[in-house]
Structure 1
Amino acid sequence: MNVREHTKEANIKRVIVGRIPRGEDLLTGIREICEEYGIKNGYITGLLGSLDTGRFIYAIPNEEGKIGFVYSDSVDVEGPLELLAGQGLIGTEDNGNLSIHLHMLVSDKYMRVFGGHFVDGGNRVAATAEIVIHEIENAEYKREFDNQTGFKLFKIK
C-alpha cells in the first residue's frame, strides 16, 4: 500500500464552536452549522450532551461482505441517552452534497454504553449537544465508492 496516495497535508483554517438545542435532530443541526459557516471539509473534535433517541449502525461479520463484514440495519435506542463522546469527519458526497461521518458513544439509564456510526434521523437532542468543529483547508474529503472494501468511503483529495 502506498500511504502517500491516501494522505495529504492540510491546515486548520478556523474553529467553530456551538451547541445544538433541545428538540433538534443532531445530524441536521451539524449540517446547519456547516452551511451557516460555509464549512465543506473538516472534522468534529468534540461532541457532548444528551439525546432523547439515537440511531446508528455498526459492523457485523458477514462472509458475503467484500472484506468479511457488512453494516447492520439501523438500530434505534430510546433515551434519555448521555452523549459521552463524539467525533467525525465533514466532507462531500460524490454528488456534491454535504456528508457527515459521525461516530459516538452514548449511555442509557442503566449505564449501558452503545456506540457506532450514527445515521440520519432519530437522533433528537434532549438538553443540548455541544460541538467543536475544525474546518480544514488544502485538502478535501470526498465520499466515493471504494472498490477494495465495497463501501463508500472518504477519499482525500
Structure 2
Amino acid sequence: MRIFEGKTTRTYLGRMDHGSDLLKSLEEFIMREDIRCGKVQVIGAVSRGAFGFYSQKNKEYRICQLDKEMEIATCIGNISLKDGKPFVHAHILFSDEEGRTYGGHLTEGTIVFAAEFIVEEVEDTAPNRVFDSVTGLFLWE
C-alpha cells in the first residue's frame, strides 16, 4: 500500500461549455491552473458518451461509444502527474432514458450537453504515475 498526504487548498466550481469534450475540458482546466494533485467530480448530461473497459487479460483498453442522450449519474477521479505533467484519471457512469447504466474509464469523445464540476486541489504531494509491469497500467509509485 502507498499513502500520500496533502492538504486541500483550493476548490473550484465550474460549468463546462455545451458541445465541449468533457475530458479535454478537464485537462485544459488543470493545465491552466497548474493543478498537480487533486480530486475531480462532475455531474450533468451528455449527447455522446465515451468510456473504456480495461481487459486485465489482454492489458489493453476497449473503448465504448454511445451516441445518445444520457445523464452523468456520477463522474469521479483524481489528478496526479504522468511524465511530469498533470494527468486526469476519472471514471464515469451514464444513465439513459430507460434507466440502464453504462460506465468505465472516462475517455475523449464524451460530448457535454450540460455539466458542472468541482475540482479540489491537494498541495504538499503529487503522486507520480509509472508503468506497472504486473497490471500493464500507469499507477502511482
CA offsets, 1:34-76, max 9 Å, x none? 12322121111x21001111111123453xx5xxxx3442110
C-alpha displacement at 1:142, in angstroms?
A: 1.6
Q: Does the CA contact (< 8 Å) of 1:57 and 1:71 recur in 2?
A: no
Counterparts in 2 of 1:141 and 1:79: CA distance versus 1, 3 Å:
farther
User: For 1:148, what is the secondary structure of its paired residue?
Assistant: coil
- State the TM-score, normalizing by the size of structure 1: 0.82
| 1:130 equivalent among 113, 116, 119 | 116
Question: 2: CA distance between counterparts of 1:132 and 1:36?
Answer: 15
Question: 2: CA distance between counterparts of 1:152 and 1:143?
Answer: 5
Question: 2: CA distance between counterparts of 1:25 and 1:8?
Answer: 30
Question: 2: CA distance between counterparts of 1:136 and 1:100?
Answer: 14
In structure 2, the residue matched to 1:102 is 90
C-alpha displacement at 1:132, in angstroms?
A: 0.6
C-alpha displacement at 1:134, in angstroms?
A: 0.7
Identity across matched positions, percent: 28
CA RMSD of aligned residues (A): 1.6
What letter corresponds to residue 23 of structure 2 in structure 1? L
Q: Structure 1: which 5+ residue stretches go unaligned?
A: none
Q: Does the CA contact (< 8 Å) of 2:36 and 2:85 recur in 1?
A: no
TM alignment of 1:33-72, pairs within 5 A: 33-44=29-40, 46-60=41-55, 62=57, 65=58, 70-72=59-61
In structure 1, the residue matched to 2:3 is 7
Determine whether 1:147 maps to 2:133.
yes
Counterparts in 2 of 1:150 and 1:139: CA distance versus 1, 3 Å:
same
In structure 2, the residue matched to 1:24 is 20
TM alignment of 1:85-100, pairs within 5 A: 85-94=74-83, 96-100=84-88
Question: 1: CA distance between counterparts of 2:9 and 2:29?
Answer: 16
- State the TM-score, normalizing by the size of structure 2: 0.90
What letter corresponds to residue 124 of structure 1 in structure 2? I
Larger radius of gyration: 1
Q: Structure 2: which 5+ residue stretches go unaligned?
A: none
Write out the 4+ residue segments of structure 1 that deviate beyond 3 Å after TM superposition.
none
Determine whether 1:84 maps to 2:70.
no
